Amino acid sequence: MNLVMVKYNSGNVRSVDYALQRLGINAIVSDDFEVLKSADRILFPGVGNAASAMQSLKEKGLDKLIPNLTQPLLGICLGMQLMCKQSEEGDTPCLGIVPLEVKKFRGMLKVPHTGWNSVYNLKGGLFGGIQENEYMYFVHAYYAERGEATAAECNYIQPFSAAIQYKNFYGVQFHPELSAHAGSRILSNFLKSGL
């Protein structure tokens, strides 16, 4: 398995790498076009600010490369949001891969949404062996709206996309690397051939 994590200034590479090591998987971290294009699977982790993350991707030319990759790619947290059309965070145009908008939580509950919450309406191979209403760990102030690409939902202030799937692109708003056994299962599912 040739697994590559996208290298840019907003990737939470270390914690994801630890989770992969627990599964016996070693990943390469790279921003090299040829390394990314030749990967079997790509992880696109992210934490932080959408505008600065997109700036980093543009400086490296990755904003042009990533949407044209053809192998399975999994965006995590901010990585998932960056695959959408637009984010309200800094009114930022994103990669435009998935036809969803990213909105800011507004309401009476505490923002960011931090901690364990259940996911439901699970669809697709990413959730093989995961039960409805399984708990995952979230840390985010922005969310992707629901749409045809939604592969799982969560409810905090309002329902939102906890996961997405569009062509060969997958995304999870929660952190699988922090979500105990269920998160490990999702990473394992992503790494399986035939996903």
Residues tagged active-site? 77, 175, 177
Residue 70 CA, distance from chain mean position: 16
Q: What type of residue is 89?
A: E
Helices (H), 41-119: 50-60, 62-65, 78-82
- Provide the token pair at 145: 């709206």
What's the rounded Cα separation, in Å, for the pair 73 and 75? 7
Residue 51 CA to residue 139 CA, distance in Å, equals 18
Q: Element (H or E) spanning 130, and its range?
A: none
Residue of 43, 48, 41 whose CA lies nearest to 89: 48
